[in-house]
Amino acid sequence: MAKSVRQIPGVLFADVNFATGMLLLEYDRDRDPRPRAVATVVGAGHGVEPLDADDVLVTAPSWWTHHRGEVAVAVSGALIVLGWLIGSVGAEVASVAAYGLAIMAGGTITWRRAVVSLQARTLDMNVLMTIAVSGAAAIGEWGEGATVMFLFALGGILESRSVARTRRSIRDLMSLAPERARVRRDGIESEVPPAEVAVGEAIVVRPGERVPLDGIIVHGISAFDESPITGESIPADRGVGDRVFSGALNTTGLVEVRTTAPASATTLARIVHLVEAAQASRAPVQRFVDRFSRWYTPVVIAGAAFLAIGVPLLGELTGAWPGIESWQDWTYRSLVLLVVSCPCALVVSTPVAIVSAITRATRDGVLVKGGAFLELAGKARVVVFDKTGTLTEGRPTVAEVVPLASEAAQRVCGLAAALEAHSNHPLARAVAAAGADDASGLTVSDVVEMPGRGVRGIVDGEDLVVGNLAFVSEHVTATGDVSTTATRLEDAGLTVLALARTGDDGSVLGLLGLADAVRPEAAATTAALAGAGIEHVVMLTGDNERAAARVAAAAGVEEFRARLLPEEKTAEVTALRERHGVVMMVGDGINDAPALAAADIGVAMGAAGSDTAIETADVALMRDDLSALPRFLALGRATMVNIRQNVALSLGVKAVVLVLAITGHATLWMAVFADTGMALIVIANGLRLLRRR
């Protein structure tokens, strides 16, 4: 179809997206070939729907356009039954007439598409089927020719319905964005199309409504079902300052949202666009199948011509198979070979599996940029993790409190939290959060912060200081016990802060060990990777060896490299590729970009709402959940197994029927099964990936 459209004057480029059923057209505006392109598509028996409601070139298809194929098949089937009944009572002429009408009814769309194919100078299944059925009628096999045409048309309808299942997923995603947004302007609410809402305007989302545009909540609190974006089935609580995404369902409360992106650039819109592009892309295995089919069909057609003409002619010359019966027999065999020759099942075997797998991954909150990365996922042997923000949560927490000078641990934590509550440093926020309950009721005054070092102030009348050991040692003298305890904490990979009382009776009251918390699912994920076929799990970090060892042990990672600069991480990834094969690296999609690019597959964590991560990563985990990774790898392996099954089935059955056709033991019915029937089987097999969990 695309090749026929490309030959229209003024068309610069044309391509058909298998996944979405869209014809992409690039054309010379001065010549405007769109009317002819639409006429070509309609002339081939396909329906055409406008993407733009204001498009005057295309009108919405009628009921007849949608269902003429089913009507034609039903009429053809009825005429075949009529022909059989008439023939059973000896009315041969009337029977042949009924079969002839059945061929005409069943072949209505087939012949139109055959003409378009010949105009494009290509030989597709419609051309071959037209020749085969016409040949069957010419040698008197009217009943078989009619039945073959009926089965072919019926198979085409079933095939189109099956493929439509993969397209519905994209349409379902697109339909999640509401058609109207309730915008508040000058205190008045009005409903407008989302495209008319400017960035920064306020929109109101009521319970039970979907969010029309990306934004930040400025008033209200609610739980949002974000499963279309992140794949997370449990609604997420969101309040003032939190981000919400277009397509998310507001389940409980009324919220006001300040928009942060236009309708064309929401997270949902980007996901739909990238999934469409991914499904249209070809994996290496698919490109191989396409190349194979290009020479396979002409070779088999040449073989069919030789069977129809060359073999009986040779028989006449040698006296081995003289007579008209020999010509009819070998012509019938060649017709069977013609039907078998089109690699429909082979060609569709790969894209239906790729499209189904990409759709399945998207539903699970994993955005895959193309079939090539699914194929690579099936071959991955090494997974490399960045540490901070990937295996860890990217935010420090208080892991241990060691009281000194007879103070209780809660008292030390509370005093430190009272001071640190006045600082914006990440470590200070961690301490403030950990001791918030113990700090309640404490009076704080005269707070002075030394950026990057610590905080000093008066808490309940006591002069206190909290910060790193060097800063605290400027105010009090650290004893041997303090140094020994600090060393122990540092050896465990913790960052140490000290709390001290200053003045004449100054002393260190306690030490706090802080660490970047390891994700709770990290250990289970690394264990599951081994079951998914991964041979090596490696962690790369710029942090020190002690911190790296602590995280690696908690996450179940046996290999790690510490104190690495960005270029050294890239070199490590390259070395792992050379030693072990396909490497997948998991990071945050922004930092360590060179190392992510050096890997065969770069995976971004928590990409929802991150423009950079969604656009640059090969694979994006839409939420901060590492457990999706082994499932994605398992999906990649299942996809490759599915493709190999499809290719083996389609080629194996064709090979058997080809041999039977040459030896005269195959019928046209068997040939239709080997082509259209196997196409239906491989499509059904590929669609199984949609149901995979």
Q: Which tens digits make up the pLDDT trace of 71-119?
A: 888 898 899 899 889 888 888 889 889 989 998 888 887 887 788 777 7
In a domain, 176, yes or no: no
Which residue from 466, 360, 440, 406 is spatially nearest to 687, judged by alpha carbons? Answer: 360
> HSE-up of 240 (CA within 13 Å, CB side)?
3
In a domain, 11, yes or no: yes
Structure tokens at 341: 């020759």
Q: What is the pLDDT of residue 665?
A: 84
Q: Is the pLDDT of residue 452 over 80?
A: no
Residue ending a domain, among 517, 543, 575, is 517
Residues with a known catalytic role: 386
Q: Are 633 and 377 spatial neighbours (Cβ–Cβ below 8 Å)?
A: yes
Residue ending a domain, among 221, 244, 263, is 263
Q: What is the pLDDT of residue 144?
A: 79
Cβ-based burial of 441 (10 A; exposed 0-12, middle 13-18, buried ≥19): exposed
Q: Are 569 and 540 spatial neighbours (Cβ–Cβ below 8 Å)?
A: yes
- Of 15-29, 238-252, 400-414, the one with minimum mean pLDDT is 15-29
Q: Which tens digits make up the pLDDT trace of 387-444?
A: 878 888 878 889 899 998 778 899 999 999 999 988 888 788 899 998 988 888 888 8
Cβ-based burial of 155 (10 A; exposed 0-12, middle 13-18, buried ≥19): buried
For residues 335 and 411, state if they share a domain: no
In a domain, 94, yes or no: no
Q: What is the pLDDT of residue 56?
A: 45
Q: Which domain holds residue 686?
A: 266-371+633-693
Residue ending a domain, among 492, 517, 542, is 517
In a domain, 154, yes or no: no
- For 421-486, the DSSP string reads TT--SHHHHHHHHHTHHHHTT--EEEEEEETTTEEEEEETTEEEEEE-HHHHHTTS---HHHHHHH
Can you list the alpha helix ranges (DSSP code H) found in 225-323? 227-230, 267-280, 284-305, 311-318
Q: Which tens digits make up the pLDDT trace of 536-575?
A: 999 998 777 888 888 899 999 989 998 887 778 889 999 9
For residues 419 and 469, state if they share a domain: yes
Q: Per-residue pLDDT averaged across 144-161, rounded?
A: 77
For residues 502 and 436, state if they share a domain: yes
- CATH number for the domain harbouring residue 535: 3.40.50.1000
For residues 561 and 619, state if they share a domain: yes
Q: What is the pLDDT of residue 218?
A: 93
For residues 408 and 496, state if they share a domain: yes
Q: What is the pLDDT of residue 157?
A: 76
For residues 603 and 685, state if they share a domain: no
Q: Per-residue pLDDT averaged across 149-174, rounded?
A: 69
In a domain, 441, yes or no: yes
Please name the residues in contact with 474: beta carbons below 8 A apart, sequence gap of 6 or more: none
Residue 93 CB neighbour total at 10 angstroms: 9
**Count of domains observed in the chain:** 5
For residues 490 and 549, state if they share a domain: no
For residues 617 and 581, state if they share a domain: yes
In a domain, 148, yes or no: no
For residues 357 and 333, state if they share a domain: yes
Q: Which tens digits make up the pLDDT trace of 270-313?
A: 777 766 666 566 556 656 666 666 676 677 778 888 888 888 88
In a domain, 682, yes or no: yes
Q: Are 246 and 211 spatial neighbours (Cβ–Cβ below 8 Å)?
A: yes
Q: Which tens digits make up the pLDDT trace of 598-641?
A: 888 988 887 655 566 666 678 888 888 888 899 999 999 999 99
For residues 479 and 415, state if they share a domain: yes
Q: In this structure, what are the phi and psi dihedrals at residue 587, rounded to the nearest 5 degrees?
A: -145, -160
Q: Which tens digits make up the pLDDT trace of 463-506?
A: 999 998 888 888 888 788 888 898 888 888 888 899 999 877 78
- For 393-431, the DSSP string reads EEEEEEEEEEE-TT--HHHHHHHHHHHHTT--SHHHHHH
In a domain, 466, yes or no: yes
